[in-house]
A and B are shown apart, each in its own frame.
Chain A
Amino acid sequence: MVTELIRLKIALLRNSLKRSVWQLVGLIIGGLYGAGILGLVIVGLVGLSFADPSLAQTVVVLVGSAVVLGWVLIPLIASGVDMTLDPARFVTFAVPMNTLIAGLTVAGVVGIPGVVTLIASLGTAAVWWRNPVSLVAALVCALIAVLTCVALSRLVTSATTSLSGSRRFKDLSGIIAFIPLILLGPIFTSSAAGIHNAREFLPTLAQTMAWTPLGAVWAVPGDVARGYFGQAAIKFLIALVTLAATLWLWRIMLAKALVTPVHQAVNRRGAGKLGFFGMFPGTPAGAVAARSLTYWFRDPRYGGSLIIIPLLPVILWFSSSQSGSPDLLNVLGPVTAFILAWSISADIAYDNTAFSQHVSTGVSGLADRVGRAAACGLVALPICTVFVLGPVWLNGSWEQLPALAGLTLGILLTGLGLSSVVSARFTYNVPLPGESPFKTPPGSGMQMFVVQMGGFLVLGLLVVPELVLAILAFATGQSMYGWLALGVGTILGAVFLVVGIRSGGRWFDNRAPELLAEVSKNR
């Protein structure tokens, strides 16, 4: 049974590659990336073997704990990371529970992350090659660690799927779990200020981690090497208990999940609440705007692109206070305008096959483009206003306001115009409706990269006039340049917006069926 499951997993992997060349390219790139990391890790581990054993142990314990933590967190962020062997699919087969658990655990190692973790863990043995007993201990512990990683991530997956009875939980959890990751950068840089304390801090942290389920397994070989056999035995016991407890909990979860199919908790609601549809004009363009705006608030994929926005000021504030240049905060408005305007560049791809409603109702390209741009503009304008006024107010630099406003408005309008063309012409695969906003769909890499880079370049070129004027205003301090930037940004941006919407609308009218076929490929 266990070998059957592994063979099934490999067959699924192989067949998914047959669907598109890009998937193969993705796997190769992923494989190279993994191999590169592995190479670095092995070199580092061999290097560690020449270092002081207690230093080696500190490093191994800390990195190892981080790896285990990663296996726990990743299923939270990217829901459905690897559900190729979803236990729910085995419900109708009479597979004994213990066999299923064993099979799913071992099969979980098959795949790039599993294999990389396995080899790297076994590689820790290289640190202790001079001490045969601790070498053997390292090999045994590596296996336990890898199994614990897989079992933990499976446990988290099944725990969240049974928790997420309501769709709302599922929508939110993916986004919320992402926030600490984005803030990780600033937190690290700010704590890097105390890096000279790290020499005392890190070994203490490692010693603490070594007694927790996350780090115990990694500490055993080091303890053996240093002759602390008693401690090694206790930590080994902690590692074993961790694995056993994880498997036991997972077994309970699985047993429950297999007899209770995923249940949707739904509140029934009657008619009468039209939301944005009641507020917008009753025209096709108004309807598209109302629908898009509803999606900005209800679809986690749009929320996912917005999540960076409130974090941006925090990140910039950190960096500007670190570097001691308050002017850095000024980029907040322009950068936000850029992110928001560009976020509708894959709008039709986000619709997926629901776009067929636009095609079958024969809505005009102009109405479609105007509606989507209007919804995005309505979200972006208040945010950008606050983000332009905020830094100016904080720095008390009101003389910079015209230049900053001109640049921001120029980027926003030009970006909306460009997105209107791009989303009608160049599509790439995006997460499907209902999927995690942060999931990268298979086979999207190259196309997405080309479209995004091309778009950034063109946008950069189109906003050159107001950018140059704004920079002149900052550099010379002459208010004339600032007012010029405001005028040029507004007028040029408006022109590009109109041109973009019209030409995007024409593309749309001529190619609506082809566009539908394009976005239907990924489903």
Chain B
Amino acid sequence: MTDIPHVVPPARNGTPALSLRGVTKRFGQKLAVNSIDLDIPAGSFYGLVGPNGAGKTTTLSMATGLLRPDRGQVWVHGVDVWANMLEAKRLMGVLPDGVRLFDRLSGEQLVTYSGLLRGMDKDTVQSRVGDLLRALDLQEDAGTLVVDYSAGMTKKIALAAALIHAPRLLVLDEPFESVDPISAANIRDILHGYVNSGGTVIVSSHVMDLVQRMCDHVAVISGGNVLAAGTTDEVRGDSSLEDRFVELVGGRNASEGLEWLRNS
């Protein structure tokens, strides 16, 4: 890239899959994301954890070109997201959380739509849609309207829509929410296979166990700041990720009080 401005993203093992520098967003009085710096190494399975309202979704929205940051810059594989939007978006597959889908389309139509919007040719789209529906066990319901899907099926079809163009970086906001255990295991297999073949995955979650088992890297975000980031083993040290998380974020109440709630 010739037009990279004054801040040059540090390269440890080659170019990171995703780099954030000084990314800031303010909603009215509330500082939602406070000048975050973060590097997601290429080929990593990266977990983003934090309590509710920590700024995870806001950060990921700014990283994927859905929300313009007040300040700061984002690079995907060295491509400046906010200067070179189209090229950056080609590299990314995004599963946003808390947004609607075009749910009056059938599942098959929705995934096809996602592929065609990205300018892929019809035949490729058609064969990949078939593969994705099979892998995510949605074949039986391919022709059902998405509005009639259960919450877990909706997550899966949105994931398929994010995968169709074989991105180099996958950004998944809460991908396992309300997905049944079997489907979740299938999705984990797909994601691990994807990472092993050189792709990069970022998942946000607040299920610590899942992140500890699944991710090789993790960042803890709270109050719009990165509290810790690194490999999962570095971040958690000797304790479990959950304990380390609670230690970092704080806010646990000693389980006294509520004496009246005890049954005996």
By a beta-carbon cutoff of 8 Å, the part of chain A in contact with chain B is 167, 264, 266-275, 277, 282-284, 286-288, 290-291, 294-295, 298-299, 351-354, 356-364, 433-434, 513-514, 516-517, 520, 523
Contact A354 B100 (CB under 8 A): yes
Given contacts A271-B129, A294-B105, A356-B96, 20 further A-B contacts (CB under 8 A): A264-B148, A270-B140, A271-B133, A271-B143, A272-B108, A273-B143, A277-B109, A277-B112, A282-B122, A282-B125, A287-B113, A298-B145, A354-B102, A358-B117, A359-B65, A360-B66, A361-B114, A513-B66, A514-B68, A517-B67
The reply on B130 being an interface residue by CB < 8 A is yes
Task: Report how far A395 CA is from B143 CA in the complex, Å.
Answer: 47
Q: How large is the interface on B (under 10, 10 to 19, 20 to 34, 35 or more residues)?
A: 35 or more
Quick one: given A273-B143, A357-B113, A361-B114, are A291 and B119 in contact (CB under 8 Å)?
no
The reply on B144 being an interface residue by CB < 8 A is yes
Per-residue CB proximity of B135-154 to A under 8 Å, as 1/0? 00001111111011000000
The reply on B86 being an interface residue by CB < 8 A is yes
Task: Report how far A284 CA is from B117 CA in the complex, Å.
Answer: 4
Contact A269 B96 (CB under 8 A): no
What are 25 A-B contacts defined by CB distance under 8 Å?
Answer: A167-B147, A167-B148, A264-B148, A268-B144, A270-B143, A271-B130, A271-B142, A274-B108, A275-B109, A282-B116, A282-B121, A284-B116, A284-B118, A291-B105, A295-B102, A295-B104, A352-B100, A353-B99, A356-B96, A357-B117, A362-B85, A363-B117, A433-B103, A513-B68, A514-B68
Q: Which residue of chain B lies nearest to A266 when distances are taken between CB atoms in the complex?
A: B148
Contact B144 A360 (CB under 8 A): no
Quick one: given A271-B133, A360-B94, are A283 and B116 in contact (CB under 8 Å)?
yes
Contact B99 A356 (CB under 8 A): yes
* Most chain B beta carbons < 10 A, residue from A167, A266, A360, A523: A360
B118 CB contacts on chain A under 8 angstroms: 284, 361-363
The reply on B19 being an interface residue by CB < 8 A is no
Task: Report how far A298 CA is from B117 CA in the complex, Å.
Answer: 20
Contact B86 A271 (CB under 8 A): no
Contact A356 B66 (CB under 8 A): yes
Contact B144 A362 (CB under 8 A): no
Cross-chain contact of B64 among A272, A360, A523 (Cβ < 8 A): A360
By a beta-carbon cutoff of 8 Å, the part of chain B in contact with chain A is 64-68, 85-86, 89-90, 92, 94, 96, 98-106, 108-109, 112-114, 116-119, 121-122, 125, 129-130, 133, 139-145, 147-148, 161
Contact B104 A362 (CB under 8 A): no
Contact B106 A273 (CB under 8 A): yes
Contact B65 A360 (CB under 8 A): yes
Task: Report how far A363 CA is from B98 CA in the complex, Å.
Answer: 21
* Most chain A beta carbons < 10 A, residue from B92, B129, B142: B142
A266 CB contacts on chain B under 8 angstroms: 144, 148
Contact A269 B113 (CB under 8 A): no
A284 CB contacts on chain B under 8 angstroms: 116-119
Contact A357 B101 (CB under 8 A): yes
B92 CB contacts on chain A under 8 angstroms: 360
Q: Which residue of chain B lies nearest to A517 when distances are taken between CB atoms in the complex?
A: B67
Quick one: given A282-B125, A513-B67, are A354 and B119 in contact (CB under 8 Å)?
no
Task: Report how far A288 CA is from B64 CA in the complex, Å.
Answer: 22
Task: Report how far A505 CA is from B85 CA in the complex, Å.
Answer: 16
B121 CB contacts on chain A under 8 angstroms: 282
Tell me the minimal C-beta distance from A114 to chain B in angstroms.
33
Contact A269 B65 (CB under 8 A): no
Task: Report how far A273 CA is from B145 CA in the complex, Å.
Answer: 11
Contact A357 B161 (CB under 8 A): yes
Contact A288 B100 (CB under 8 A): no
Task: Report how far A85 CA is from B122 CA in the complex, Å.
Answer: 49
Q: Which residue of chain A lies nearest to B146 when distances are taken between CB atoms in the complex?
A: A354
Q: Which residue of chain A lies nearest to B165 when distances are taken between CB atoms in the complex?
A: A361
A294 CB contacts on chain B under 8 angstroms: 104-105, 109
Tell me the minimal C-beta distance from B54 to chain A in angstroms.
20
Cross-chain contact of A299 among B94, B104, B119 (Cβ < 8 A): B104
B67 CB contacts on chain A under 8 angstroms: 513, 516-517
A270 CB contacts on chain B under 8 angstroms: 139-143
Task: Report how far A362 CA is from B117 CA in the complex, Å.
Answer: 8
Q: Which residue of chain A lies nearest to B129 when distances are taken between CB atoms in the complex?
A: A271
Tell me the minimal C-beta distance from A512 to chain B in angstroms.
8
Task: Report how far A295 CA is from B85 CA in the complex, Å.
Answer: 28
Task: Report how far A513 CA is from B64 CA in the complex, Å.
Answer: 10
B66 CB contacts on chain A under 8 angstroms: 356, 359-360, 513, 516
B145 CB contacts on chain A under 8 angstroms: 298
Tell me the minimal C-beta distance from A19 to chain B in angstroms.
13
Quick one: given A275-B109, A294-B105, are A287 and B117 in contact (CB under 8 Å)?
yes
Task: Report how far A300 CA is from B113 CA in the complex, Å.
Answer: 21
Contact B147 A268 (CB under 8 A): no
B117 CB contacts on chain A under 8 angstroms: 284, 287-288, 357-358, 361, 363
Tell me the minimal C-beta distance from A288 to chain B in angstroms.
7
Task: Report how far A360 CA is from B99 CA in the complex, Å.
Answer: 12
Contact A283 B113 (CB under 8 A): no
Contact A283 B104 (CB under 8 A): no
Task: Report how far A350 CA is from B155 CA in the complex, Å.
Answer: 22
Contact B108 A287 (CB under 8 A): no
B140 CB contacts on chain A under 8 angstroms: 268, 270
Contact B85 A273 (CB under 8 A): no
Task: Report how far A288 CA is from B101 CA in the complex, Å.
Answer: 14
Quick one: given A282-B121, A358-B117, are A274 and B109 in contact (CB under 8 Å)?
yes
Task: Report how far A271 CA is from B127 CA in the complex, Å.
Answer: 12
Contact B65 A362 (CB under 8 A): yes
Contact A277 B94 (CB under 8 A): no
Q: Which residue of chain B lies nearest to A297 when distances are taken between CB atoms in the complex?
A: B104
Task: Report how far A271 CA is from B129 CA in the complex, Å.
Answer: 10
Task: Report how far A359 CA is from B144 CA in the complex, Å.
Answer: 25
* Most chain B beta carbons < 10 A, residue from A167, A271, A284: A271
Cross-chain contact of A351 among B68, B102, B109, B119 (Cβ < 8 A): B102
Contact A361 B89 (CB under 8 A): yes
A269 CB contacts on chain B under 8 angstroms: 106, 141-144
Q: Which residue of chain B lies nearest to A351 when distances are taken between CB atoms in the complex?
A: B102
